[in-house]
Amino acid sequence: MADLHTYLGAQKYDPVAGVFETVDLASGWLWECSPPAGSIKTTELETFLADLQSGSVVQLIVLNDVHQKRVLISLKIPESEGNQHSEIRSNFSICLKAMGFHPKSMDGDRYVDFVKSVIDSSISDDKSMDLSERAFSSQESYLAVYRKLVINNRSFRAGTLQKLSECGIKAIRDGLSCLLCINLISRELPDDLYDTCRSNAHEETIPRMDWYLDEMKVIHKALNAILKTESSAFKSKQYVELLPVIWTWAPDEQQLEIACSALREDIEASGSEVNFVSGILATLFISSLPFGMYPGENNLNTLIINRSLIAPIGEIPTLLERISKI
């Protein structure tokens, strides 16, 4: 991944329609939100996701840095005929308000500013270029090695959350820079497998799926999750692929190791588990920025299938309530 900017999610922004055009030809919206007081109310999100087109992505991004604390939420939907952009945007904005957030729409300039703040960029951007080139200039210093990602003067490490305890993740300690991104990808079971799920709802065996190739692992995990739920979960063929990724960074290797140890302690103190990953850091970095998760076939994110959590739509409230705000 030599040219990181070519994989950044946003490419153009239409100020008239208020919509982003993404690199995978989808449509997206981005909001900056005030953190909700107390736990996140997820009933409205569950209803909204149940009506979303398969392959749509909702991201909850929390940036906790020495100089700032920000909450961003993005929505990306695959482009198709009949999409009512204004209606989708309005409905999701209403959903965010009902969840306890106070959303404010972000435009292309604010998207660029956010990405540049994460990578600590001081390079002036040319507003005649695409958003991805503005956000990550070819002049940026970038190096991906096995255990860390080095961008400009920051060394990054990433962890995926493998277990979410009942009490969630307690507050990260002051002074520890981190970015948490929760990707929620709307999926739909094929008709034949959905019928199989309904007929085997109370059995522990999972049907063979040798005829599925690229999607086999994800579908297998979906069936595992769905077969463990009550039969009421089969009111919908939809399920959610959830990928929580958390990043920390520091100016050098020694401070980065200290930051990773501190982050692990804070997460495991609540009974949750984090697995610091190696080898696919550039992919995870892109997927942790707005519109960076590509749920289609034959793309970067096929590398991270095994690191995602799978759940029926009805289990979203339980999953999200286990991830407390930073």
Query: What pLDDT, in 10s, does the model give residues 109-156?
Result: 999 999 999 998 887 778 888 998 888 887 777 787 878 999 988 999
Is 119 a member of any domain? yes
Is 72 a member of any domain? yes
267 lies in which domain range?
Answer: 4-189+237-321
Total count of residues recorded for the chain: 326
Task: List the beta bridge partners of residue 75.
Answer: 29, 58
- Output the pTM of the full model: 0.84
Is 201 a member of any domain? no
Question: Is the per-residue pLDDT at 224 higher than 60?
Answer: no
pLDDT at 230: 46
Is 208 a member of any domain? no
Q: What is the mean pLDDT of residues 45-61?
A: 85
Is 215 a member of any domain? no
Q: Tokens representing 324?
A: 């407390």
Is 134 a member of any domain? yes
pLDDT in tens, 228-284: 554 444 455 677 778 888 999 999 999 999 999 999 998 888 788 888 988 778 888
Structurally, the chain folds into a number of domains equal to 1
Is 227 a member of any domain? no
Report yes or no: 320 and 42 within 8 Å, Cβ to Cβ: yes
Q: List the one residue out of 46, 70, 69 whose CA is nearest residue 58.
A: 46
Is 216 a member of any domain? no
Alpha helices in 26-105 (DSSP H): 43-50, 85-98
Q: Whole-angstrom Cα distance, residue 57 to residue 179?
A: 18
